[in-house]
Structure 1
Amino acid sequence: MKLKNSLKNLAIITVLLLMTQVSGFAQGTGSFKGKIIEQSTKQPVIGASVMLDNTQFLAATDTLGVFTIENVPAGSYSVTFSSMGFQTKNITEIIISSNKTYYSEIELLEDATTLEGVTISTFKGENNPLTPVSSFSYSREEIFRNPGAQGDIMRALSTLPGVVSSGSQFSAIAARGQGTRDNVYMVDEIPIFNLSHLEAEGFASGFNDPNGGRFSIFAPRIIDNVAFQNGGFGANYGRRSSSYLGLGVKEGNRASWSFSAQADLLGGTVIADGPISKKTSLFVAGRYQNFAMLISMLDEQRAAVSFGDYLIKSTTELNDKNKLSVIAMFNPEATSRKIDDIEAGLDMNEDNSGRTMLWDHQSSQAVVGLNLRTLLNNTSYLTNVLYYRASTVDNNFGRFNPSLDSNGIIINPRADGYENRLRHITNDQQEVGYRSIYTKNFDKLKIIAGVDAMMVSLDYERLLSRTDTIYTFRARDISANPTQYYQILDPSQFNAAFDDNAFNGSGYVTLSWKVANGFTLNSGVRYDYTGFTEQHTLSPRLSGSIALNSRHSINFASGIYYQDPGYSDIAGQTAGNTLKNERTIQSIVGYKMQISNDLKFVAEGWHKQFDDVTVQPNRAQSYLTNDGSGYAYGADISLTKRLSDNYYGQVSYSYMESKRDDHDGLGEYDYIFNVPHTFSLMGSYKPNDKWIFSGKFRYSTGRPTDSYIIHPDVFNDPDMVRYSQEVTRVNGERLPDFISMDVRADYNMHREWGTFSAFVDLVNISNRFNVNSEQFVPETGRIMNIGLGVFPTFGVRFEL
């Protein structure tokens, strides 16, 4: 991939940065207000200390847990929250604006651990006895600063140990030997199955897309906190078996209004945030992205790509006991490549050429949810969540038949006609769900018990308009006629229609017992009923932490995890072919050393056993079975410096093996996410209140890809020359290693009217072409690589 007009782009960036040097009004002052509550009981913490680091500004909470700091000069601050009997918490980059009040609700974890006179600074989800293994978190500012992530939470997670991503081209994550669709996603305690844009179902085989989407559905600065657990999560969560990702959407400011707008290379984002009454706050965000400029700058093939993300969240303190949050999200997207986008001169063998495919993809996702938290007494509370989720997908895939020269260059894209709708897929889902979680705290025991119930409606159709030819195959796919070096796909083998409803129900309980000082044991069990599979499952789980001393601990987790089949996989089966839930048995043991209050070292080893794995006997057909099995194992080490003292960073290394066996006589093979070695190094430094510089280096072993041989002229017809690809060994080779260096620079200027920012975020500055996958080109017999080189973005942001 080539970066076009680089001097012009550099000039644009330079102008943007020079704009930040314009003079403004003198800085004014603002206020910082908030409420501190206990994480375990949600009760107010009285007498807690709040200090703006490296200043004389401090305050203490009153009998309601509320604090206020007045007359703070506009700028960014790091804040420390502390109280006797609680872990000290640090929040970085609190932005104080002139004549405005920054408001935040803070949760503190109990039982502070002292390190030779220094108190550990905890971050969301960290040092929590309920999540002793594989726990990581990001603050809002850490997400935004993450170089190469461009404010995207899913891209920011790619640097965590044990996480495999598809580099800078895709944003979905895969954890510890499993796939991108195997993760639990919770947004304000609402289960959501898809957090990414631009994952066109049916683009390849339509089964377990190894890449996932390309951008998350959350614009920068929407997510306020992130809790990620790379396996070993408790019985509270299920129906997915790999990892847990909990996202908290920012609550509206209860004290004053603020407005911000960001314009970048892909589009723009607008956010409004403030109170609408004494008890209710509002947070509203809208984003629209269009890739036309970027596609032109990167000299990519023409296509129309756009999406939007619209969110509104209100938070109301109904009274001293009840807090109600209401959230609504709408996420439409559209992408197309039509015959008018194809120009003569296109090289069919060039990377990212798109071959002879045409497509028109339209989809949307909508979520509405209510979350009511009720304080029952001083030691217990109840959370009730009611939600509605709907998604629609309408995909058309076509083909054009161009005339080519001897080198594979298109002479005329319309020479032999084209089809806009060879394959058509619609997938409409609706879900109404209810969750009720009860939490009770005793002296040395904590009980969490809950029930989930959901009614799912699925309307799915997949149509092939005519008999099609498949040019990539395995020998077993054409065993009926082994001299025919291609596969005929009949509509009867592809078409599917499904319109049905199903009920899913779950119940779970977790007991967290403080056995002794420094020894916590968590035991739990989860029951699930899955309507579409008519299957009852029981999942016992156990985890714990043993503190060797004030700095060192041993942590462990083990359990059984069941995973529901994907809805599109259920809908694609013939009558009578009912899929089963996949089962994973996980075991994790780790060592953690808290070197200082914000510096942590973690080493973990893990193992997974997979049973009843869904497999696809014939890649071109929709028929699936649960004949597969497999295993994965590995080890992760990481050293994390949390954001404090104006800098933060992380270095991590992961070793992993992931194997599968479809029990089809071909034996064991590397799973698509078998990436033995992954290394990442990331750092960010803020030399003053204006500049922030960040960098990230990533390396990983190349992904597995099939071994194959090429058959020429399979039709023996000079007027219809076609090649075919016979797969001789599934994932028998590897793509080139992934190597990328990302850099980011931010400039911030605080003035009396607000804050002006400019940023440059460059992914893969060396422009190394990192290959994510290969595609065979039957017209030329060559291999086209799908991947990405440099990926730039830059923009400006105003906050008023």
Structure 2
Amino acid sequence: MDLKNSVNNFFITLVLCLVSGITFAQSTGSLKGKIIEQSTKQSITDVTVTIDGTQLISATDSTGIFTINNIPAGTYSVTISSDGFQTKNITDIIISSNKTYYSEIELLEKSTTLEGVTIRSFRGENNPMTPVSSYSYSREEIFRSPGAQGDIMRALSSLPGVVSGGSQFSAIAARGQGTQDNVYMVDDIPMFNLSHLEAEGFNSGFNDPNGGRFSIFAPRIIDNVQFQNGGFDVTNGRRSSSYLGLGVKEGNKESWSLSGQLDLLGGTLIADGPISKKTSIFTSARYQNFGMLINLIGENPATVAFGDYIIKTTTQLNDKNKLSVIAMYNPENTSRTIDDVEAGVNLNDDNSGRNILWDHRDSKTLVGLNLRTLINSKSYIKNVLYFRSSTVDNNFGRFNPSFDADGVILNPVYGGYENSLRKIKNNQQEIGYRSIYTKRFNKVTLTAGVDAMMIKLDYARTLSRIDTLYSFRSREIASDPTRYYQVLDPSMFNSAFDDSAFNGSGYVNLSWKVTDRLTLNPGVRYDYTGFSEQHTISPRLSGSVLLNDKQSINFATGIYYQDAAYSDIAGQSAFNKLKNERSIQSILGYKMQFSNDLKFVAEAWHKQFSDVVVQPNRAQSYLTNDGDGYAYGADFSLTKRLSKNYYGSISYSYMQSKRDDNDGMGEYNYIFNIPHTVSLMGSYKPNDKWIFSSKFRYSTGRPTDKYIIHSDVLNDPNMLRYSQEITEVNGERLPDFFSLDIRVDYNVQRKWGTFSAFVDMVNISNRFNVNSELFIPETGRISNIGLGVFPTFGVRVEL
């Protein structure tokens, strides 16, 4: 049975379960939870829990548990306070009829004992161990982010210092680095790719720098997000740009809920609840098919479909041990065959796809166990065991149509076609183990850990025959300057790699409260990288100086190493081992907390790069570590957190990012060198039924190559071809990016549950934002790759 039929059957079965489960019940529900200390994971007694705007209040017992009953169905914010801890505010808690909302909540110790205003803490914020570039999102904030369509990666793109791959892409690039340079953790499990539709091999057989287009997590799957835009501590490594920690929602321990969402792209079903007194489960299934949307926005026909399936169980084994088990499966299938190509399409049009055919199949699998053990009242240990695999099978072909003088296709199959001119196979398997120990002393918190992983890589890149590249850099034809094209020879392009390697890491980090005003976080990390047979040491330091209860100076500096991409390693000869890229980072920031939910942050940063992997000739797979570079910038943001019925943010980022391949051509703009970025976002909730959200984004256009065009480069009137000679890498810029996104949500509570409807419009003005340019050898013209308006709408039912 194929993927689509399996999903359809699953949806039908679960919908029947949803319908059969509809019952009329009481119009009140309950709130229950456990309050624990963030640094030790110990339960906290005598914590006051108040439902804002009501007289409903409770306190935790000796086990840290609290319960509030008889809450009228609706949406609430909750304030949690205790002596010695930062007051925490949680918004958009949805109380449903005859159900109990359950959550485990962590509190941070107060960072100062000085008198003054109490600052409310949101998850991960105001943490002395992460003093710089730290941001967080709640589950509801992700879902309601305008233009994000519930996608966590798209929601992050509005943060200061963060840019997406551009228009239709969602993968993020942070502070002058690329989309593949970020640390991703899912329930403390390292992952290297969180996106769908990343066309590995589309760029002449090498990686597309834009990353993917949609995250592998359906809306409302991620319960909490912690993002650090550089300066992260030694517990994370092997990537150097930013840290993104995602926590998958745990199942409700008290009552069951079933929900389904149907939108323009497909459908999602979620079920969670208790399966025993000690164990809860959370499950989700999503299937997306872009056929309807492609027709709606007038894109070229293609098959684009993917699925995301997840199951997570959480078991409180006893008072000291908590076990989580997670399993994920994320298949995708996209293709464009000769049957999808129609006469009448102009090769020069935006998003024409030129004359490329493809068949892309990808799947990701993850199974992980996370055991948290409380050793005593001041220490705990996390042990994580996981298996991760991904398979990529990409085929790229070409057709040779007949077309008129304007570039309009007359007959797609006129000159024949090839389905598999180039092939990419990239299969990875990884078994890993992490053990992280944390102990709290009087003024110091110690974190120490080890990581060990065994990686198996089975990779093959195949070109079936000699091919021609009509886009090239000037120096790549120096040996024969009269030949204005490059020959792509299988002997220089093809590679095969099937090997295993061991990676190991060890790290120690301290968070030392030197005084009431000064906190220092020194640490050191050791990494061994098996494929490069390289040992590295990374010292890092961060800290915070409290000027008063509202203002602080924050800083971070350190060395960061980044493993070479597995696909790059696999393309080299046995004697050409790529080294880890190295960067030295420094951040200095100022934070002003105007009120408990309004803050201003300004940060200046600098990065110095060395041993950067470069490709001397794009017709060959040979790579070196000859590159270097630098990046610097400043970010400013004013954020009103979601504490009442409205929230918003304003941010501006300035950035410069340069690279030098040390090939005699000098430095050039890095592909994600975006000097100016502005983001404005706001949301207003006038009542429990309506939510209105909007976001405006502007950024300088991305760098693009400066070039000249040569005509009739084959000297054959029967096969007229043009070529593009790149005279300056990234010497020009694309048009500036503008996008206004609008989202409207409607929610209504019924005795049987909640009904919701939404409209989410990306780029409502339908301005065509260009992401990149594609040269057309048949016509000598440039086709722009980008996106205009991108709409979706749907309904959601929760029982």
**Could you say which TM-score interval applies, normalised by the shorter chain?**
over 0.9
Residue by residue over 1:173-217, the C-alpha shift from the partner in whole angstroms, topping out at 9 and shown as x without a partner, is 000000000000000000000000000110114545321000000
Could you tell me which residue of structure 1 aligns to residue 20 of structure 2?
Answer: none
Which residue of the partner structure matches residue 687 of structure 2?
A: 688
Q: Distance in 2 between the 1:208 and 1:362 partners?
A: 15
- Tell me which amino acid in the other structure corresponds to 1:57: L
Contact 1:36 1:107 in 2 (8 A): yes
After superposition, the Cα gap between the structure-2 partners of 1:114 and 1:746, relative to the gap in structure 1 and judged at 3 Å, is: farther
**SS of alignment partner, residue 54 of structure 2:** coil
Pairing 1:340-489 to 2, within 5 Å after superposition: 340-489=339-488
Alignment deviations for residues 552-572 of structure 1 (CA, whole Å, 9 cap, x no partner): 100000000000000000001
Match for residue 584 of structure 2? 585
For the structure 1 residues 114 and 523, does the alpha-carbon distance in structure 2 shift closer, same or farther, using more than 3 Å as the test? closer
Given that 1:115 and 1:551 are in contact with CA atoms closer than 8 Å, whether structure 2 keeps it comes out as: no
Which residue type is aligned with residue 55 of structure 2?
A: Q
Correspondence 1:182 to 2:181: yes
Instruction: Please list, as runs of the form range in 1=range in 2, the aligned pairs for 1:587-736 lying within 5 A after superposition.
Output: 587-736=586-735
Question: Does residue 513 of the first structure (1) align with residue 512 of the second (2)?
Answer: yes
Bigger drift between 384-393 and 114-123 goes to 114-123
Could you say which residue in structure 2 is the equivalent of 1:763?
762
Report the equivalent of 1:122. 121
**Separation in 1 of the partners of 2:770 and 2:406?**
22
Residues 474 and 726 in structure 1, CA contact (< 8 A), matched pair in contact too? yes
Measured after TM superposition, the shift of residue 117 of structure 1 is: 5.2
Q: What secondary structure, in the 3-state scheme, does the structure 2 residue paired with 1:747 have? A: strand
The answer to whether the 8 Å contact 2:181/2:239 transfers is: yes
Give the match's secondary structure for 1:549. Answer: coil
Tell me, yes or no, if the aligned pair for 1:518 and 1:548 is still in contact at 8 Å. Answer: yes
Q: 1:576 is matched with which residue?
A: 575
Q: SS of the residue aligned with 1:427?
A: strand
Judge which range, 90-99 or 177-186, deviates more. 90-99
Contact 1:179–1:208 (CA<8 Å) still a contact in 2?
no
Number of the residue aligned with 1:310: 309
The residue number in structure 2 matching 1:21 is none
Q: Please say if 1:552 is aligned against 2:548.
A: no
Tell me how far apart the structure 2 counterparts of residues 168 and 55 of structure 1 sit (CA, whole Å). Answer: 44
Aligned residue identity for 2:156? L
CA distance, structure 2, for counterparts of residue 489 and residue 516 of structure 1: 63
**Residue 775 of structure 1: aligned partner:** 774
| Cα shift at 1:120 | 1.1
**Kept after mapping to 1: 8 A contact 2:476/2:617:** yes
Query: Which SS does the other structure have where 1:54 is aligned?
Result: coil
TM-score by length of 1: 0.96
- Structure 2 letter corresponding to 1:77: Y
Q: Secondary structure at the match of 2:641?
A: strand
By how many angstroms is 1:121 displaced?
A: 1.1
Distance 1:454 1:437 in 2: 15
Distance in 2 of aligned mates of 1:60 and 1:602: 34
Following the alignment from structure 1 to structure 2, what is the Cα–Cα distance between the partners of residues 740 and 25? 44
Cα distance, 1:116–1:206 mapped onto 2, change above 3 Å: farther
- What amino acid is aligned across from residue 497 of structure 1 in structure 2? A
The Cα shift of 1:621 comes to 1.9
Residue 281 of structure 1 corresponds to 280
- Within 1, Cα distance between the matches of 2:54 and 2:250? 27
Amino acid paired to 2:130: T
Paired with 1:338 and 1:27, the residues of 2 have a C-alpha distance of 55
Aligned to 1:166, the other structure's residue is in SS state: strand
Paired with 1:704 and 1:714, the residues of 2 have a C-alpha distance of: 27
Alignment of 1:194-343 (within 5 A): 194-343=193-342
**Do 1:317 and 1:323's aligned partners in 2 also have CA atoms closer than 8 Å?**
yes
Residues 725-773 of structure 1: CA deviation (Å, up to 9, x unaligned): 0000000000000000000000000010000000000000000000000
- For 2:11, the equivalent position in structure 1 comes to none
Q: For residue 37 of structure 2, what is the aligned residue in structure 1?
A: 38
Distance 1:510 1:140 in 2: 29
Q: 3-state DSSP class of the match of 1:546? A: strand
Report the CA distance shift for 1:219/1:115 in structure 2 as closer, same or farther (over 3 A). Answer: farther
Do the aligned residues in 1 keep the contact of 2:47 with 2:80 (CA within 8 Å)?
A: yes
Q: Deviations over 1:592-631 (max 9, x none)?
A: 0011001110000000000000001112221110000000
Which AA in structure 1 matches 2:95? I
Whether the 8 Å CA contact 1:27–1:74 is kept in 2: the answer is no
- Partner amino acid, structure 2, of 1:355: R
Contact 2:614 2:626 in 1 (8 A): yes
Distance 2:785 2:277 in 1: 53
- Equivalent-residue separation in structure 2 for 1:133 and 1:53 (angstroms): 30
| CA deviation profile, 1:638-681 (whole Å, cap 9, x unmatched) | 00111011111110000000000000010010000110000000
Asked if 2 retains the 8 angstrom alpha-carbon contact of 1:712 and 1:724, the reply is yes
CA distance in 2, matches of 1:524, 1:660: 29
Q: Any stretches of 5+ residues in structure 1 without a counterpart?
A: 1-23
Going from structure 1 to structure 2, the CA distance change for 1:37 and 1:69 (only over 3 Å counts) comes to: same
Distance apart, 1:26 and its partner CA: 9.1
Deviation (angstroms), 1:25 = 7.5
Task: Write the deviation string for residues 408-453 of structure 1: whole angstroms up to 9, x where unpaired.
Answer: 0000000000000000110100000000000000010110000000
**What amino acid sits opposite 2:329 in the alignment?**
F
The CA distance in 1 between the partners of 2:674 and 2:657, in whole Å, is 8
Aligned equivalents of 1:98, 1:205: Cα separation in 2: 56
Query: Counterparts of 1:220 and 1:118 in 2: how far apart (Å)?
Result: 36
1:8 paired residue number: none
Give the secondary-structure state (helix, strand or coil) at the position aligned to 1:154. Answer: helix
Q: Retained in 2: the 8 A contact 1:26–1:751? A: no
Structure 2 gaps, min length 5: 1-22
Alignment of 1:73-84 (within 5 A): 73-84=72-83
Provide the rounded CA distance (Å) in 1 between the counterparts of 2:30 and 2:709.
Answer: 69
Contact kept, 8 Å, 2:205 with 2:424, in 1: the verdict is no
Matched to 1:633, the amino acid is Y
CA distance in 2, matches of 1:77, 1:167: 36
Q: Once the two structures are aligned, what percentage of the paired residues are identical?
A: 77
Secondary structure at the counterpart of residue 293 of structure 2: helix
Letter of the 2:149 counterpart = Q
The answer for the alignment partner of 2:51 in structure 1 is 52
SS at match of 2:109: coil
CA apart distance, 1:38: 0.3
Deviations 1:8-51 (A, max 9, x none): xxxxxxxxxxxxxxxx9897111111100000110001010111
Cα distance in 2 between the residues matched to 1:427 and 1:116: 58
Q: Which amino acid in the other structure matches residue 757 of structure 2? A: A
Counterpart residue identity of residue 544, structure 1: G
Q: Is the 8 A contact 1:702 1:737 kept in 2?
A: yes
Q: C-alpha displacement at 1:724, in angstroms?
A: 0.3
Q: Separation in 2 of the partners of 1:793 and 1:116?
A: 49
Which amino acid in 2 is paired with 1:178? Q
The 3 A distance-change label for structure 1 pair 674 and 399 is: same
Taking the aligned partners of 1:168 and 1:33, their CA distance within structure 2 comes to: 42
* Secondary structure at 1:643 match in 2: coil
Structure 1 runs, 4 residues or longer, greater than 3 Å off = 24-27, 112-118, 205-208
Contact preservation (8 Å) 2:742, 2:762: yes
Measured in 1, the distance between the counterparts of 2:452 and 2:624 equals 27
C-alpha distance in 2, partners of 1:699/1:590? Answer: 24
Distance, in Å, in 2 between the alignment partners of 1:263 and 1:91 is 28
Displacement after TM superposition at 1:168 (Å): 3.8
Contact 2:199-2:207 at 8 Å conserved across structures:
no
TM-score, length of structure 2 as denominator length = 0.96
Contact 1:375–1:382, Cα closer than 8 Å, also in 2: yes
SS of the equivalent of 1:779 reads coil
